[in-house]
Chains A and B, each alone.
Chain A
Amino acid sequence: MSKVSLEINGKKISKEIPDHTTLSIFLRDILNLTGTHVGCDTSQCGACVVHVDGKSIKSCTALAADLDGSKITTIEGLTTNGKMHPMQEAFKKLHGLQCGFCTPGMVMSAIDLLKNKKNPSDTEIRDWLEGNICRCTGYQNIVAAVKEAASKM
Chain B
Amino acid sequence: MAEPMGFFTDTTVCIGCKACEVACKQWNQLPSPEGGANTMSGDSYDNTRKLDGINWRHVKFVEQFSEDRVGGRWLLMSDVCKHCVRAGCLEVCPTNAIIRTEFDTVVIQSDVCNGCGACVAGCPFGVIDINPVSKTAQKCTLCYDRLQAGMEPACSKACPTDSIQFGPVRELRERGAKRVSQLNDGGESRAYLYGADEKMLGGLNSFFLLVDKPEVYGLPPDPKLPSRNLVPASMFSALGALLVALIGVFSFRERRSGEGEDRP
| A and B assemble together | no
**What is A's interface to B at a CB cutoff of 8 Å?**
none
